[in-house]
Structure 1
Amino acid sequence: MMLLASLIVLFFSLLFLIVDSIRKEQRHKKVALYIGDHSARAPSRVNRFFVRFGKEHRQELEQKMIEAGYYNTDWAKFYFPAKLLVLALVSGLVLLGDMTSTNKLIVVIFSLIGVIVVPDTMLQMRRKMLISRTSAQLPYLLDMMSVCVQTGMTIEAALVYLGKELAEFDSDLCYQIKRTSDSAKIHGLEKALNDLSERIPTPPVRSFVLTIIQNLQYGTSVAQVLSDLAEDMRKVQILTVEEKVGKLSAKMSVPLILFIMFPIVILILAPSIMQMTLNI
């Protein structure tokens, strides 16, 4: 019992140190931003300790977190230590529990698999959900971009403007547009749009990218084309919903047969079968 209490105290102590380190770093950043001090500051001891874990895969992990919608990459350095901490805590609780050695070994193995697989799976699921949701909001972006172009803005200026104005509408879409706008200033608009289609690999985004690239290459009018493309995307979304509704009746037939028809058949036949068994 004392060992369990010690493990709990150790866990909360480490958690307090992590939270306190993050708060101190945020305060230092705010003070440096307020006084205009942009000089590099040495990381804290806790940060240096956590940076050692998973250093080889840090860039890949940061990219996964950004794709999943977690844009603060400072949390990446706590990813692997958090896994180890959870695994150590679960292993300690299992070893102190009243189970056989075989059951303890099985629980520890499943905990190890869960700690390794579950977080990455959740990031991948959130990435797919984020791609689908961002792609569904694309018609609104096209309508607003069409209005911006009609007022005399260039494509680059429209992206810069929408990268600021879309923050309250959809933060994820705003991040993608702002990242595209920033990349266009360095690598050019065509390269930035191709990168956008790689980050969000869906047919609507590819259609949008090809439309803008065609405008850049041939100088065609893009305002009306964007409006028509947004209307076509909305029609496709409506057809997709109607298709899902049409498939719903076929999917409902399986639980209908399993949970309604079979019990009804059993209720009808049960009295006769019971009567036959009594007569025998």
Structure 2
Amino acid sequence: MTLMLVIGLSLVAASAALVLRSFSLAGAERRRTLDQIAAYGFRGASPAAADTHDVRGTLEELATATGERALARVEGLRRGEKGLRELLNTAGLYRTSVASFVGARILILAAASVLVVLLALTGGIDLRLVLGGSMLLLMAWHLPNVWVQRKARLRLERIDREVPELVDLLVTTVEGGVGFSAGLQLASRSIEGPLGQELRLSLREQTLGLTPEEALRNLSLRVDSPATRAFTQALVQGESLGVSIGTILRDLAADMRKRRRQSAEERAQKTPTKILFPLIALILPAMFIVTLGPVLMEALDFLSSS
């Protein structure tokens, strides 16, 4: 029974990971192929209608329909809809709707429930099944949310590491005679990853009619990290006060380098605390066994012989 529960937990975790990966990587191969075609001066044809009705599309449609019904009927889910949308945006899942994400959680929970029922029918109901089934259902419901939170945290940390590179690039372009907006466009094409994605989104907002200050404020709201807040606040305040953008960027670059050095020193100071538990739980017992084991065995042999 314990082996079946372990296998069930592994299957549910794998199914949750596959469903969430289908949302985050939906159409990635197709977009990559179309980009390669566009690089030669041609535009790829629109995908056939039959291609959209694959297994992934069916799962997405089922999850969206399930999530919409749940949001319409459950008040608690509706109250957390705004926060969940912000969390998905922070994780970079702009194409994933709140309804589809909630529906995916419900479908994973339903699959886990079916698995628990099958285990109960085949092996009977006992305490281990009740405890293991409860743990399985809790994992099935909370695992997608934990995955998105972890993805958002890692994305913010990566953006924080890339902001100093962005500031240095903007200093170089602005002091070379390029305007700030043109410098942002160059930076958005040069920087890969989530920061480049957010910059391109801000530039797209400006083309739709927003002012640069409004686009920067929206960037700060989407990416709520210390480095991004410092970057956007310095630029917005400098624009409102009429300070030269070159001066702002030079001061900001110095501040970013200082911030990066302080962050590295802070991580270095936390290292002894982090290695304390592995040292006590894993390394020291092995050292004691290797060094004191032979001595204790000889002492026991001597006492037993005497």
TM-score by length of 2: 0.64
Contact 1:146 1:223 survives alignment (8 Å): yes
CA deviation digits over 1:55-90, x for unaligned, max 9? 225665454333212332269625245424532452
Aligned twin of 1:41: none
Matched, 1:215 2:238: yes
Amino acid at match of 1:271: E
Contact 2:66 2:99 survives alignment (8 Å): no
1:253–1:95 distance in 2 versus 1, CA, 3 Å: closer
Matched, 1:125 2:170: no
Q: State the shift of 1:275 in Å.
A: 2.7
Count of paired positions: 245
Q: State the shift of 1:129 in Å.
A: 0.8
Contact 2:116 2:133 survives alignment (8 Å): yes
Matched, 1:172 2:194: yes
Alignment counterpart, residue 53 of structure 1, candidates 41, 66, 87: 66
Contact 1:68 1:130 survives alignment (8 Å): yes
1:176–1:219 distance in 2 versus 1, CA, 3 Å: same
Aligned twin of 1:230: 253
- Structure 1 residues 260-269 or 215-224, which shifts more? 260-269
Contact 1:138 1:204 survives alignment (8 Å): yes
Alignment counterpart, residue 155 of structure 1, candidates 155, 180, 190: 180
Aligned twin of 2:52: none
Contact 1:94 1:107 survives alignment (8 Å): no
Q: RMSD between aligned alpha carbons? A: 3.8
Q: State the shift of 1:113 in Å.
A: 0.3
Amino acid at match of 1:229: L
1:161–1:252 distance in 2 versus 1, CA, 3 Å: closer
Aligned twin of 2:288: 262
- Structure 1 residues 230-239 or 169-178, which shifts more? 230-239
Q: Which runs of 5+ in 1 are unaligned?
A: 1-10, 36-43
| Larger RCO (CA within 8 A; separation ≥ 6) | 2
Contact 2:184 2:199 survives alignment (8 Å): yes
Alignment counterpart, residue 87 of structure 1, candidates 112, 135, 140: 112
Q: Which secondary structure does the structure 1 equivalent of 2:123 belong to?
A: coil
TM-score by length of 1: 0.69
Q: State the shift of 1:214 in Å.
A: 2.4
In structure 2, how many angstroms separate the alpha carbons of the residues matched to 1:252 and 1:48? 46
Q: Give the fraction of aligned pairs with identical amino acids, expressed as a percent.
A: 22
Q: State the shift of 1:148 in Å.
A: 3.2
Contact 1:138 1:230 survives alignment (8 Å): no
CA deviation digits over 1:197-224, x for unaligned, max 9? 2333332222212220122112222224
Q: State the shift of 1:234 in Å.
A: 3.2
Q: Which runs of 5+ in 2 are unaligned?
A: 1-14, 35-43, 47-56, 72-77
CA deviation digits over 1:178-200, x for unaligned, max 9? 22233445443323323322333
Contact 1:180 1:192 survives alignment (8 Å): yes
